Amino acid sequence: MLFIIFLSLIKISVQCTEYTTENFALRNIKNNNTDKLPVVLMHGLLSNVENMNQLKDYLITNFELDVIVPEIGDGSSDSVNMALYKQGEILCNELQNYSILQNGFNFIGISQGGILGRYYIEKCNGYKVNNFITLVTPHGGVYNKLGNLFDMYSEYNIEHRSFASYWRNPFKYDLYLELILLADLNNEGNINIDNKNNFASINNFVMVYSTVDKIVLPPESGKFSTYQVGTMDIVSLEETSVYVNLGLDKLNETNRLHVYSTNCTHDEHKDFECFKELHDMFEIFCS
């Protein structure tokens, strides 16, 4: 029963109101390709291909893009109950089946889908990602006290609860470093040079986070901010080890790192209500 209550926090809604660009300034950078690249759109937790229809149709109608929406397993259920590294491997294999991607593509990952996008780039890096866009993705992990009712770092949860793979408990940081996939993707412990080099291969990295997110906690995790180890204080991206260890500093220095904020709820980023806030970003980085 407690676990059902915990998952129910995933589904909330308020109205989307405004949009701003952060201090990593949006630069008017177009794709280097003269032809439009296809887009891979990856859904998040408790979601499936059908839930992506509004955004898929919006991208096709407004920007005349080819859009691929991959599915992992049975969709909503496996998005929660399958270990995230297993989902990542399935995604890597799935994308190799699309010859339309062989000349490069843009990747849009929503929430957990953005972590899967990073898995593809850092661990597989087959067909190349040009622009990588994440919407309310927990790059800096998630944590709230309700989760203390469960042993998120148990072998069972890591293998059967996808979000355990980005559960970043600042009071159990040693376990996080030892057991959790996100710590590896973030190069927070030992630096994996392949992770860093593969991530450096993208043309632009765009992060969109919500100032009113109630699912990704802290909301700033969507732009790689984290809770400070041993406290609930927020550490900005530039102050994290990830900034240098994953090469985000170099992306920023070469005008390839971009951060947006919205006042859309977590779920609204895949719905029509929020698209007007994201339109300019999509136009620059997808069209």
134 pairs with which residues across the strands? 109, 207
Q: Kindly provide the residue ranges of all beta strands, DSSP E only, lying in the chain, ordered along the sequence.
A: 19-21, 39-42, 67-68, 105-110, 129-135, 204-210, 226-227, 234-235, 257-262
The catalytically annotated residue of 43, 266, 267, 269 is: 266
The answer to whether 25 touches 280, Cβ cutoff 8 Å, is: no
- The bridge status of strand 204-210 relative to strand 129-135 is parallel
The catalytically annotated residue of 210, 213, 258, 267 is: 213
Which value, to the nearest 10 degrees, does the dihedral of the CA atoms of residues 175, 250, 23, 111 take? -40
Nearest CA to 104 out of 7, 32, 169 is that of: 32
Q: Which two tokens stand for residue 104?
A: 């490069």
The answer to whether 120 touches 88, Cβ cutoff 8 Å, is: yes
165 catalytically annotated: no
111 catalytically annotated: yes
269 catalytically annotated: no
Active-site amino acid positions: 111, 213, 266
